[in-house]
Each structure stands twice: as C-alpha cells, then as structure tokens.
Amino acid sequence: MDAQYRPEIIEPEAQQHWEDTQSFRATEDASRPKYYCLSMFPYPSGKLHMGHVRNYTIGDVLARYHRMKGYNVLQPMGWDAFGLPAENAALANDVAPAGWTYANIDYMRGQLKRLGLAVDWSRELATCAPNYYRWEQWLFTRLFERGLIYKKMATVNWDPVDRTVLANEQVIEGRGWRSGALVEKRDIPMYFFRITAYADELLSELDNLPGWPERVKTMQRNWIGKSFGVEIHFPLRKFSGSEVLKVFTTRADTLFGVTYVAVAAEHPLATQAAATRPELAAFIGACKQGSVAEADMATMEKKGMDTGLVVYHPLTNEPVPVFVANYVLMGYGEGAVMAVPAHDERDFAFAGKYGLPIRPVVRPVDAEPGLPLTAAYVEPGILFDSGDFSGRTSQDAIEKIALVLQNLALGKKRTTYRLRDWGISRQRYWGCPIPIVHCSRCGDVTVPEDQLPVVLPLDVKIDIGSPIKKMPSFYETTCPTCGGPAERETDTMDTFVESSWYYARYTCPDNDTAMLDERANYWLPVDQYIGGIEHAILHLLYARFFHKLMRDVDLPSRSPGSPKIDLAPTGGRSDQKSELGVKLSTSEPFTHLLTQGMVIADTYYRDLGEGRKQWINPAEVEEREGITVLKADGQPVIVGGTEKMSKSKNNGVDPQSLIDQYGADTARLFMMFAAPPEQSLEWSDAGVEGANRFLRRLWKMVYEHVEAPSPSPWLGEKELPAQLRDFRRQLHQAIAKVSDDIERRRQFNTAIAANMELMNALSRLEGEDAPTRALKQEALEAIVLMLSPIVPHICGSLIAALRPGANLTDAAWPLVDESALLRDEIELMLQVNGKLRGKIRVAVEASSATIEQAALASPDVQKFMEGRPVRKVVVVPGRLINVVV
C-alpha cells in the first residue's frame, strides 16, 4: 500500500476499472428488489456547475448505498438537450445549435465521468436525437387523435422591432432583451395538452405520495387550485336572461355587495364599447403593452376605465357599471369578475382609486361591522343588507344564493381549477418539431407513423427568428390524407415535453420499434428522484401528467416489418407481445422525491442601458478597498442579488478546478458535508482543505494499521476491557446513526460528522495487542464502507488494503451488532425550573421514583431550590429530571 493518498492516481484507476468491468450496467432481474435512482438530467449548457455536483453526488450516494444493501440498482444519465440557450449561443458565436449542443454534451460527459458516478452509461440518451423525439412525436399524434391535444389562441410576448416571440425571461422591465423595444401582447394559435382533464387525479393522488416532501405537495395543490364556487350571470338587459355576462366567484355570499364588474381588455363587451369610444380603445391598446408573465401582471399598477355599459344585478336588477381592468385575464375563468370592494382587497383599492361605492354586506360573527370600512373585510361572517339572505352565515348563504340563481337560470354551482391547459407550441427552432401538416382542404392532419420522425434540419444559419420558418424544403409537403400540397407546422414543442417522459425511456432506450417495452414496467416507478426545488411545480406536474397518459393511451407500435426484439432474460420468449410496446401499469412516476436546495452565488453585472445587463462571473471580480471591481479592468461592477447558479446570470462556479486540484472524492465529500441536501447552499470554497485533510488522515490511519506488524489474530475468546467495550459501543452506535442518516433522514453531513467523530475516537485508541487490533480492523472496515457511497474511489483502495482481494462494488453495508449497544449506566440532566443545574449517573434500569429521589438529593438541585417546596417533578426517561419549585 502506498504511504501517500494520491487521488490523481487512484481515481482514474478506479474509474477505468468500473468501465472495464461494466460495474454499473443494470439488467432486469426478478430475483432481487429493484431500485431505480434518478437525478434530473442536465441541460448541456457547457460546463458542470456546483448545483450539478451536488445533485449527482446525492443521487450517487443513494444509488451506491442501495447497491450495498442488495438492491438491483439502475442509475442512468442523459441530456435535456433542446432549448433556448443553444439558439442564444448560436447567435452570439455563429455556431449551429446542434454542433454547440453535442460539443457541450461531450465535454460534460467527461466531467460527469470524472466525478465517479455509478451510472449505467449504456442507457445515455439526448432529447435532441431523432431516435428520442420520434416517440414524442408519435405520442403527440395519438393524443391529438384522442382529443387530448387541441388548438386554440393564446397570448405571447411580442417584440415589435425584432418581430419575434419572446420568452418571459427575455422580457426585462417590459422591454425586449435585444431590441430594447416595449413588448406587446399578441394572440397566436397554439397546441395545448388537455392537462385539466387530469386535474382531479393529479390533485387527489398527491395524497398517495408519502415519499414526497410536504412542501412540494402543498405547492402542487395550490397550483392546481381546485375551488368550489358559483358561476353568476349578469343580464345585459333588465329582467332578461337571454344575453348575460358570466363571472365566477367563490364568494357568492357577497353578491349584494357588488358595485361594479370588471372585464379583460380582450373581452367582447370591451371591444363593443370601444367601437364608439376612442379613449376606451386607447386604454385597451395600452393594456396590451407589457409582458404576459403573471408576476408582471400581479405587480403592475391596477388600472381600469368605465365602458359606459351596464349589466343588471341578477337578484336586485339594479344596474351595475362595467369596467375594463388590466388585471383581469381573458384566459382565466370567464375573463370577467364581479367586484365587491367591501370584501376583497384588490377591489377595495380599485374602488378607492376610481371613486366607486363600497357596500359592506358581511360582518364578523361576533361583532358589528366597523363602519365605515378602512380595509376590506375578507373573512366569512354573517350577511346583512342582503335581502332575504341577511342573517345567514357566509357558508349557508353561498348554498342558498346558488340555488336561487339556478332556479332563475342565472347561475349554477361550479368547480374550477386554477390549473390551465398546457400550451406547448414554441416559435423556436431548437426543439422537437410538432408532427402536424396543415392542409387547406383537410385542416390539421397528424403525420402518419411511417413518416415519423419529422426530423429537425441541422444545417441552418441562426439569426433572429426560427430558420425552419423560412425553409421551404422543410415546410413544403403534401397532405397525408388527400395528397394535395400542404405545409408542415413550423413551431416546435416546449422542452418540458421531452423532460416529461425521459425517465421512462431510460428503461429501454435502445428500442427502435416502440416508445416503451416491458422493461418499463420492471423498473418503473422511479424509486428515488433527485432534483432542484425549482422544479417543484412545472416539471414534476408535467411528468406526473405524462405518466398517466402513458398509462391510459395505447402505446403499441404497428410499424410493418419492424424487427422483433427479445426482452426475455432467458432468451426464450420472443412472441408478438414484445414487439408491441406496453402501457404503464402504475399511476405515479416518482415514489420518493428529494428536492435539493439550490446552490446559490452572488451575481454581478454592468448596465448596458434600456434594461439590458451584462452579467459577470463571480470568478472575474474581486474586492478592492471595499468596492467590487472587474479584475480585468479594475472598474466597479454592480452587485446583484444572491441567486441560483444559472447560465443566464453567469454566476455558476465551475467545479473543474476543484476536482483538478483535490480530486473527485474531495469535491464530493466537501459538497455533502457543507449542508443537508434540502437546504439552499451559498457557495464558498472555504473548507475544501478540511475535506481533503480528512481523506489524507483516513488514508494514513488505514496505512499505519495494515503496515503494522500483526500479532496472532484475536478470536474474541475473552470479554473486551471496558475501554474497548466503550469504543465498540460507539462504533455500533455510529453504524446505526449513519445508516439512519442516509436511508431515512437523507442527511449526509451528519453521517460524515459521525464518521469523523468515530475516527477521532479511534485515533485515541492506544495499543497493538490482539483485541485492540481486531477492534481497529472492525472500525476501519466499517468507516471505509460507510464512507464509500460518498467517496468511492479512496474507499475502493482502502477496502482492498484492509481485506486483500475484496472489491468495493460487491461489498455489503456494515451491520449493527445490537449486543454492542448495551450499557448499564446513563447520564441524566438535572433542571430546576427548567434551567440546567447539574447531572447524575443512574443505572439503566432505575425506576422513576429512584431517579426522582436521587435528583432531589443532589447538591446541585438542593442549592437552587433555596429551601422552596417542590411543586412538581418532571421525569423524562433517559433524558432529564426537572424540579419545579
């Protein structure tokens, strides 16, 4: 054994060994429990950043731990390879998106391998490859035919100068990021996944996911936003229900407090009124300025204008003015809301601004309404000034009002969802082409299966706008139905579509005749999914939706003449079924979810004017005399917030130099030790030295142990002396703790700390006699095995030194010896009035009464009782005694 810890030698050797022996190749095996461990695949942005190191180390620790526990482990890796940054890079550097993407994949694959992940690389996939997105297009055609995809108009950000659609991210302070032009809203046709058809199931099945963090389930519940309310119709003419304005409200009890209704700028009533009133038309035009992002809509100044139109209250027939308001969204609900300033904060503010009446109709259950209202009273309560409904509770009134409205045919109870259908059309190039042909005679026709995939042309010149929209060789085609001239759809799909089913494709990435085969139902669901908390809603909801689609929609491939593939491990069964593909047999994709906290770093930028910023990497700045400056020119930079490491803010820290200098094990150890996985982590490389020092110490300890002359082996014939018994108890307590930390608590920092403590105790153990050596051997083996999921390279070398001939890849996790945990005395804390005053040692089996007596007799307690009588004694078994005086 080498006396020195040399990661630069042992790490490449270990990685080469894993590759040569295909150590992490996963095959279906019915005889062992399976464990599918998946980390969210990376976008190939160019280089790994610290968030990746954190994510993939967590996944690798769990995968390796379960392998040691005897599971058949699958841990795959791939690339979320379509997306906007490739187009941005193409514009900036004049390279084709495909070339840029594949070059990044090659570089980052090397970096991932250098991290030493126990990944089955034979299953690697990239979503931009036709053999992947082909099946996405294929599923699209099936869903389209079944009505689960449909087309409708939707609002996008439009840059009037660049004449292009902008992502929300590309709109900065209301202006296009490149042109600086004021952004407008524009309606265009788009394809939508009917995710709302699954809203109820997506909501209710959250209750069947005990392995998900509560906060993620809460976020998804709120996002789906199921609410029970009443649809209310306001007649456009007095005493006539033939033409109505529909609104939806969860607060029908406040109906008598309505003092106006507000409609969206695009609402037909607004359009109608604007025809004769130029100032209103101008206002509606102004409403169309700005981005479509909800955060922008919600924070902008609430503005409105009277249309001059009135509708009539469905119960009182009083006229109610109709306003156009910029905060009402056409795409949500009916595009109109009833406004009750007395009982809604937003309406209260709006009414104050435009001098609209405020009419309170609900008071607190146990108080008079504090009139006049100084703020909206938004809680439920008791109705007043509400006709026949006065005196009823809010809950009761909602029911009765709904019933009366229903009898008048002016309303009905309705359940609504905040969740909207998922618009997936993108007016971009670098994405999966939507497999639709537009025919002037047949309408929208899906591309037949034998013509799939619709391949995205790669040899393109990128400037502003999608090149395939200007490429007749791509879009000119014939109609699959009538054979006449037709045009291909040139929009591509949202990249969230690819990431919604990749986890399933990993189970059978080599199948070129079907989207999925039996192997999917062997491996799925994913047992452990690991990824950033930023994906808590969108990605995870879409993936859950897709899993249900793949469960419900028939997936067989009927390509004539497609070659049969043999899935049976024994090679015996190659009937027709194996060629057909399978439906998924489960309803949820991810059994356990670990949401990693973000790795965040400071951001720095320089203002380029018109809202444009040049983001500067933290590595390029330094502090000089208290001012943050760019190293290159010494001029100051602006310090932005601390945000998640991202390409767009250029605040990612490249782990490569860390790995080059200290090795992958140090990087992995340091990352796991810095904070628990779910907590966000502000990046700082202070402490890397300490992690490296620990590994050197571990190496040295094993080296000194195995190189020491060995006395005759101890066979455990005598009882250990007390000191060794104490140490052995500590050892087995540590094994129990580390197992629990990794398996249940998912807290690796404390698992590492427990091993550090154990090593500190071990280094204090003197002597080279047979029992001491045997115990040292036992402890070192346990420590090396317990650390091996975190630092696999060094532990591979160390276990081979400790157990000649042993190999880490088939080593088992150490077992707790329960008999070593027994002890006969414990220490209890003594409190007087809740303050710590001393401690006593008592026998393990001592009764509460004995303990109480011992505590009261203790001088530490006596001193602080100051002669006062005992009011109460609280004995917490195994912990403490609190004397209350």
Partner RNA sequence: GCCCGGGUGGUGAAACUGGUAGACACAAGGGACUUAAAAUCCCUCUCCAGCAAUGGAAUACGGGUUCGAUUCCCGUCCCGGGCACCA
Residues 240-259 that bind RNA (CB under 7 A): none
Tell me what percent of the chain is helix, strand and coil, each rounded to the nearest 5.
Answer: 40, 20, 40
Q: Report the nearest approach of RNA to the CB of residue 634 (Å).
A: 26
Q: Report the nearest approach of RNA to the CB of residue 276 (Å).
A: 33
* DSSP code for 440: T
288 interacts with RNA by CB under 7 A: no
Computed from CA positions of residues 570, 575, 580, 584, in that sequence, does the dihedral angle turn out positive or negative?
negative
674 interacts with RNA by CB under 7 A: yes
374 interacts with RNA by CB under 7 A: no
Q: Report the nearest approach of RNA to the CB of residue 76 (Å).
A: 17
Residue (619 or 753) nearer to RNA, CB: 753
Ramachandran angles phi, psi of 828, nearest 5°: -115, 145
**Length of the chain measured in residues:** 885
* DSSP code for 161: T
Contact 813, 783 (CB under 8 A): no
750 interacts with RNA by CB under 7 A: yes
Residue (445 or 674) nearer to RNA, CB: 674
304-312 and 336-339 strand pairing: unpaired
Which range of residues in 46-54, 435-443, 561-569, 637-645 is near RNA by CB under 7 A? Answer: 637-645
Which range of residues in 351-359, 379-387, 491-499, 711-719 is near RNA by CB under 7 A? Answer: 491-499
760 interacts with RNA by CB under 7 A: yes
Contact 697, 760 (CB under 8 A): no
Contact 754, 30 (CB under 8 A): no
**Residue 616, SS3?**
strand
Contact 585, 666 (CB under 8 A): no
- Shortest CA distance to 443 belongs to which of 472, 484, 474, 473? 484
For residue 806, what are the contacts with CB-CB under 8 A and spacing of at least 6? 799, 800
**Residue 219, SS3?**
helix
Which range of residues in 103-111, 271-279, 392-400, 490-498 is near RNA by CB under 7 A? Answer: 490-498
628 interacts with RNA by CB under 7 A: no
Report how far residue 165's alpha carbon sits from residue 178's, in angstroms, rounded to the nearest whole number: 12
Q: Report the nearest approach of RNA to the CB of residue 152 (Å).
A: 13
499 interacts with RNA by CB under 7 A: yes
Interacting residue with RNA among 113, 420, 583, 729 (CB under 7 A): 420
Interacting residue with RNA among 85, 335, 453, 771 (CB under 7 A): 85
763 interacts with RNA by CB under 7 A: yes
Within 10 Å of residue 629's Cβ, how many Cβ atoms? 17
Interacting residue with RNA among 406, 648, 656, 858 (CB under 7 A): 648
Contact 808, 792 (CB under 8 A): yes
Report how far residue 215's alpha carbon sits from residue 590's, in angstroms, rounded to the nearest whole number: 16
Ramachandran angles phi, psi of 164, nearest 5°: -150, 160
337 interacts with RNA by CB under 7 A: no
The 3-class SS string of 336-399 reads: EEEECHHHCHHHHHHHHHHCCCCCCCEECCCCCCCCCCCCCCCCCCEECCCHHHCCCEHHHHHH
Report how far residue 483's alpha carbon sits from residue 176's, in angstroms, rounded to the nearest whole number: 42
766 interacts with RNA by CB under 7 A: no
Interacting residue with RNA among 496, 502, 523, 727 (CB under 7 A): 496
Ramachandran angles phi, psi of 552, nearest 5°: -95, -25
**Residue 832, SS3?**
strand
825 interacts with RNA by CB under 7 A: no
Q: Report the nearest approach of RNA to the CB of residue 740 (Å).
A: 6
Footprint (CB under 7 A) of RNA, residues 1-40: none
493 interacts with RNA by CB under 7 A: no
For tokens 């300490």, the residue is: 690
Q: Report the nearest approach of RNA to the CB of residue 490 (Å).
A: 13
Which range of residues in 130-138, 352-360, 654-662, 693-701 is near RNA by CB under 7 A? Answer: 693-701
Footprint (CB under 7 A) of RNA, residues 767-786: none
682 interacts with RNA by CB under 7 A: yes
For tokens 């997105």, the residue is: 133
For residue 768, what are the contacts with CB-CB under 8 A and spacing of at least 6? 708, 709, 711
Interacting residue with RNA among 46, 211, 556, 676 (CB under 7 A): 676
Residue (259 or 603) nearer to RNA, CB: 603
Residue (707 or 827) nearer to RNA, CB: 827
- Shortest CA distance to 167 belongs to which of 430, 418, 417, 420? 430
In degrees, rounded to 5, the angle at the alpha carbon of residue 14 between the alpha carbons of residues 703 and 694 is 45
Ramachandran angles phi, psi of 210, nearest 5°: -65, -20
Footprint (CB under 7 A) of RNA, residues 511-540: 533-539
Residue (303 or 803) nearer to RNA, CB: 303
835 interacts with RNA by CB under 7 A: yes
Distances in whole angstroms, Cα of residue 171 to Cα of each of 43, 175, 265, 612? 22, 5, 21, 10
Residue (142 or 302) nearer to RNA, CB: 302
**Residue 258, SS3?**
coil
Which range of residues in 79-87, 278-286, 616-624, 796-804 is near RNA by CB under 7 A? Answer: 79-87
Footprint (CB under 7 A) of RNA, residues 146-165: 156-157, 165
Which range of residues in 31-39, 717-725, 757-765, 793-801 is near RNA by CB under 7 A? Answer: 757-765
Residue (256 or 377) nearer to RNA, CB: 377
644 interacts with RNA by CB under 7 A: yes
Interacting residue with RNA among 167, 404, 630, 846 (CB under 7 A): 167
639 interacts with RNA by CB under 7 A: no
Residue (471 or 829) nearer to RNA, CB: 829
Q: Report the nearest approach of RNA to the CB of residue 226 (Å).
A: 12
Interacting residue with RNA among 310, 598, 653, 820 (CB under 7 A): 598
Footprint (CB under 7 A) of RNA, residues 102-141: none
E strand map for 58-194: 72-74, 78-79, 125-126, 149-159, 164-166, 171-172, 175-176, 184-193
Residues in the interface with RNA (CB under 7 A) total 105
446 interacts with RNA by CB under 7 A: no
Footprint (CB under 7 A) of RNA, residues 853-882: 872, 874, 876, 879-880, 882
Residue (24 or 545) nearer to RNA, CB: 545
Residue (129 or 580) nearer to RNA, CB: 129
197-216 footprint of RNA as x/- string (CB under 7 A):
-----------------xx-
For tokens 């005897």, the residue is: 70
Residue (405 or 828) nearer to RNA, CB: 828
- Shortest CA distance to 762 belongs to which of 822, 705, 714? 705
Burial class (CB in 10 A: 0-12, 13-18, 19+), 756: middle
Which range of residues in 101-109, 166-174, 353-361, 573-581 is near RNA by CB under 7 A? Answer: 166-174
Report how far residue 727's alpha carbon sits from residue 708's, in angstroms, rounded to the nearest whole number: 21
For residue 538, what are the contacts with CB-CB under 8 A and spacing of at least 6? 496
Interacting residue with RNA among 134, 233, 392, 426 (CB under 7 A): 426
Residue (373 or 538) nearer to RNA, CB: 538
Residue (396 or 643) nearer to RNA, CB: 643
Interacting residue with RNA among 656, 680, 730, 862 (CB under 7 A): 680
Interacting residue with RNA among 681, 791, 820, 851 (CB under 7 A): 681
Residue (513 or 692) nearer to RNA, CB: 692
> Which tokens belong to 349?
């503010």
Residue (8 or 689) nearer to RNA, CB: 689
Report how far residue 486's alpha carbon sits from residue 492's, in angstroms, rounded to the nearest whole number: 18
